[in-house]
Every structure is written in structure tokens, then in C-alpha cells.
Structure 1
Amino acid sequence: MLLRLLSGFAAFVLAVQSVAASPEFWAREWPRTDFSRTSLSSWVEILSGGPPKDGIPALDDPTMIQVSDDRWLDDREPVITVEIDGAIPHAYPLRYLTWHEIVNDTVAGVPVAITFCPLCNSGIVFDRRTASGPLSFGVSGKLRNSDMIMYDRETESWWQQAMGEAIVGQLTGTTLRQIPTWMESWGQFHGRNPDGLVMEEPGWSRDYGSNPYVSYDSSHRPSLYSGELPPHDIPALARVVRVGDRAWPVSRLTTGVVSEEGLVLTWEAGQTSALDTQQISKGRDVGSVRVRDQAGQDVAHDVMFAFAFHAFWPDGRWMLGN
């Protein structure tokens, strides 16, 4: 249902964006944001995603429970796994992140932001510490290239989730460190970490476990996006593994281990898409990706849609294996 609303809303937004996209228009909602500082070439790059500021509520300091105490998750459902040295492994289910998009937490003394943008399939975990101190993040309700714009509550600067970079406000140009994490199935996580922790269901009134973006990742075009489509005849919503400014189509990994550019990329079946069927647990199998260096250490990466990689890294390298 939400996807249908977004599709209808997109036509309206694109028609009025040149009028509405301006600091003067936003100033009442964002009186603390310093709009005199930005890395954007044009304010028209910013769209409303529909919900207002905090209309999608970020979560803070979630309750974590033992793996064995979870009552809701199906073994095939996707989770974002956070394994930091010295800490018990943590799992953050997409059944919750789809509705909240940001979780501010602390793992092994490290303040982290677990983020998920459904329209780009971008699930990234950031270290919230900066030279200006630790930050906490909320959902602005704004999009750029269909990707969520976060904001920090301390300065109300705006941040591009896919890049981890402040693009508007006092902290413009500041970047967050991406922590090596990955998406995998709940079964894969708890099978490897029987003593691990998982985020408990939040106390909000949401239809957790359902997907408000039904059939989105089989669409021909992304929602609320008017930019260029990917080159090389790659479908706009094909999943790619981004490491820095390089992108490997996930389809390459499904036929075997890919070892190149100093990296080892693997794929394992068993994880459902969170953006396919109405119930996340019944989605088609898109598998789990892991990226390590030659020494076996996990490497920061993102499994995102191809159009989003091309939008934010237009000069990026497509690792096609030919």
C-alpha cells in the first residue's frame, strides 16, 4: 500500500519540486539548520519523501534480548549483523528497520547508527563519533536520488545515508566512518551466534514483519527518482555490492566466490528480500553477501540497488568480470 502511495505521490512531488525545494520553504520546519552551508549544486536535488521530520521515528537505545528469547523472526528473514571486537554479536532485523530506518545504539562502547533505506536497499552501520562529538540521528523525511536524508539532532545538519556525509548545515563535508557489517538471514546469525543478542520488537504501533513496499525490488524504475539509470544494461533495481567506488553485481557472486581487487566476495542462499512480498518472511531468496580482505577480515560494504550506486558514484567502477 505504501509503495502505491509513494508512486502516486512521486508525480506530484516532481511537478512542484522547483517551487518547494528551497531553504525559505523549509526554514519553518528546520529553524536550526544552517542552509548557508551545503555541498549541493542545486536545492532541486532534495525531494520530500512524504512523511515530515521524524514522521518515520528513529529508535534510541533499543532493548536487546537473547537469541533464544526471540518469538517473532522467521529463519529466512534479513537482519543487519554487527560484530565488534569485544562485544557480543548484535542482530537488527529489517522487519523493524523498514519502519524506523535508523537505530541509535551503543555496541562495545562504540556509539553506532544502524541505518536502512528501503528505496535504495542500503543498509549501513556508522560510527556516530565525529570531531564535533558523538551525534544521534533522526529521519528528515527528505530524499535525494531516492536515498534517505538523515539529520543529526545536535546541529540539525542533513546527512546522505548512502554516503555517510553531511550535505547541508553546520557539519557539511563531515563524513561518518562505516563499520564493517553485513546483512544475513536470522537463521544464519543465530546458527553462528547461539549466545548473540537481537533487537526486541519496538513498542510502536506498526505492522512489524510486513513489507509496505510490496514488489518494489522487481519494479523497472525506482520510486521518487528522476536521475540517470545504470549503464551496461544493468537493471535499475538490481542489487550490487558497493565497496568504496566499486560495484559488483550480486548476480556475479551467485555462481561462485569472486576474488579480485584484494577482496573475497561470497554469496550464500537463505535470506529473503525485505522488499518483495507483503510478508517479509515469504519473500524470494536474494542470499547473503560477505566481503573480506585477503587476510579474512570483514570489509565495510553495502548491498544497494544499481541506480543508487550510479547516482552517488557516477564515475564509479563497475566490476563486471569481463
Structure 2
Amino acid sequence: MRSILTLFSLSLVLFTPSLVVAKTLNGFSLDNATVPLNLVQSGGPPRDGIPALTDPKFESGRKAQSVKPRDIVLGLVINGEAKAYPLSILNWHEIVNDTVGGERVVVSYCPLCGSGMAFESQPEGDGQRELEFGVSGLLYSSDVLMYDRETESLWSQIHGEAVAGPQVGSKLKQIPMTMSRWSNWLHRYPDTQVLSTETGYRRDYNRDPYAGYAEHPNVYFLLANQAPSEYHQKEMVLGLLVDGNAIAFPFSELEKQGKAQFDYSFDNASYKIHWDSENQSAWVTDEDGQTLASTLLFWFAWYAFYPDTQVFSG
């Protein structure tokens, strides 16, 4: 009996510290985390090791020399103001806190998931507080965990929801955003501004730190759900949520469809799916022609977060 008690006491000494450490990563408390702790992992850099931009500088799109016609940008239009955010810069910073059309927004990009998303910086239901976001250095299912500097809560980018900290359960409202080639965006919005490489940080924005990653099928971090192999793990898909129901439009299926736009009914509503083959971009509009919030990202990432997704077949 004594030996059993001794072993039990020894196990507490050996294993309790690891449990305590597991609930704190990069200085963030995970005590009330709503996601499995084993899926929250360090991506390598410490908190703010990937520096978010909080005072971004822009230049006229017509005069910009740092962005090339074939470069991929994330584009926002709010209240008539257009802005573009090149992935060549977002690869190094991942988050831009900005004001577009008089509205405070956070533009986010996760290179590991290929997911570009924009949100209102004020959580839904919070009538006053606007948050400023940084890069925590942590990942959940390979996706960047943002954090707000006001409460140090951790936010899942793809879910747009706080998963740990004082804001846990709060949600951010996603804003419609375009991912396209710079030449196409500039043609559509000739008065656009584009994020400047004058960020205040010394980075080689001509070098892609993730070169080759999108072509390789391997995923390097634990996932909540493993995507079926019917598509390349990093095939781009258009992900759409309607009242909590998910559907994925793989780019290969949109290419098979062979149409620039087509009608699609989902969850008792009608939508128009737009496909730009030349610029490898897709988006969704409703019956009134309004662009809806959707997400372009890798197949594995969409499935990891929405395993019950329907999948469009062309």
C-alpha cells in the first residue's frame, strides 16, 4: 500500500507541472479554453514575434512600384474606399489593424491555412469597445490565433471567435473581402490605395518565407479533423457559411463548371457564385447582388473547422 502511495505522490510531482505549463502558452492563459488544449500549439515565434501592423502606411495604387501585376492581394471596399493588402507583406505580419471608409477593421492572413479574412474590430454585441489585435505566436488546428491587446483573449481566425481569455465566446463580424491578382484589383478600383512596404520593420518583402508550402501536401501541425484526400490538401476552396451550415466550392470544381457565374441554392436561399478563372478568385452574392462574407483558404483548413461541410461538385 505504501509503495502505491509513493508512486502516486511521485506521479503528481512528475506530471502536475506539465499540466500547469500546458494551460499557459506564450504567456496566454488557457484555463477557460473552449478548444482542445492539445490542438493549441506554438507556431515557433513568441508573442508579437510576427509583428502586426497598427499604423499602416498606404500609397496610391496607380503609383505603386512595390506590387507587381500578378501579385495576390486582399482587397476591401467599405463606404466607397478601396484598399489592397499584398500577401507579400501579410506573409510577414499576418494582421493589419486599419481604418477603411471610416470603419475600424482587422485584416488577417494565415499563411499556413491560406486564409485571408477581415472583421470589424468591435465584437458583436459590444457597443463600445474596439479591439487592437496582435499575433499570439500560437496556432489552433494550424490556424493563427490572434489576440486582442485590451484583454489578451485568444481569437480563432477562421471561426472569428474568442476561444480563451476574458472575451471567450465573443464573436467578430466578418466583412466581405476579395482575394485576387493586383492587376485585376487595380483595374476594378483604379483609385485604390495599397499597403506600403514602409512598415517600420526590416523585412525582405520580395522573398516568400513560405515558398513551396502551398504545393506540398503535408500539414505540419495537429488538426481537429483530417480532410478527405479527394482534393489536394492545399487546394483553394471558397468557403461559405449560411446560418451555421457550411459549403465548400473547390476551385477545381468551379473550373469544371466552366462559367463565370451561376445560380446556386443552399439552405432554402438562392445565391450567385462568381468564378474568375484567370485571376483564381471566387466570391458570392445574394439575390440583391450584395457580396457576402466568404473565405478563400486551403481545403484542409476549411475541413478542419467545418467537417460537416457540404462540397460543391462541378
TM-score, with structure 2 as normaliser: 0.85
**What residue in structure 1 maps to residue 9 of structure 2?**
none
SS at match of 1:191: helix
Given the alignment of the two structures, is residue 300 of structure 1 paired with residue 293 of structure 2, yes or no?
yes
**What residue in structure 2 maps to residue 200 of structure 1?**
196
Given the alignment of the two structures, is residue 265 of structure 1 paired with residue 266 of structure 2, yes or no?
no
| Correspondence list, 1:1-322, <5 A | 24-25=21-22, 27=24, 29-30=26-27, 33=28, 35-40=30-35, 42-85=36-79, 87-130=80-123, 131=126, 133-201=129-197, 202-231=199-228, 233-244=230-241, 245-254=246-255, 255-256=258-259, 257-261=261-265, 262-271=270-279, 287-321=280-314
Q: Measure the CA separation in 2 of the matches of 1:147 and 1:19.
A: 28
Q: Measure the CA separation in 2 of the matches of 1:21 and 1:212.
A: 32
Change (3 A) 1:140 1:190: same
TM-superposed deviation, 1:228: 3.9
TM-superposed deviation, 1:212: 1.0
Say if 1:21 and 1:46, in contact at 8 Å, map to a contact too: no
Change (3 A) 1:107 1:122: same
Change (3 A) 1:19 1:288: farther
SS at match of 1:260: strand
* TM-superposition CA deviations, 1:269-290 (whole Å, max 9, x none): 444xxxxxxxxxxxxxxx1222
- Off by >6 Å, runs of 4+ in structure 1: 18-21
SS at match of 1:135: coil
Say if 2:225 and 2:307, in contact at 8 Å, map to a contact too: no
Say if 1:159 and 1:167, in contact at 8 Å, map to a contact too: yes
Identity %: 35
Structure 2 letter corresponding to 1:193: Y
Where structure 1 has 5 or more consecutive residues not aligned to the other structure, the ranges are 1-17, 272-286
Say if 1:21 and 1:44, in contact at 8 Å, map to a contact too: no
SS at match of 2:33: coil
Say if 2:50 and 2:92, in contact at 8 Å, map to a contact too: yes
Q: Measure the CA separation in 1 of the matches of 2:142 and 2:131.
A: 24
Decide which structure has the larger Cα Rg and report it: 2
TM-score, with structure 1 as normaliser: 0.83
Worse overlay, 208-217 or 90-99: 208-217
**Cα RMSD, aligned residues only:** 2.1
Say if 1:34 and 1:170, in contact at 8 Å, map to a contact too: no
Structure 1 letter corresponding to 2:143: D
Worse overlay, 202-211 or 138-147: 202-211
Say if 2:238 and 2:295, in contact at 8 Å, map to a contact too: yes
Q: Measure the CA separation in 1 of the matches of 2:86 and 2:107.
A: 10
| Count of aligned positions | 285
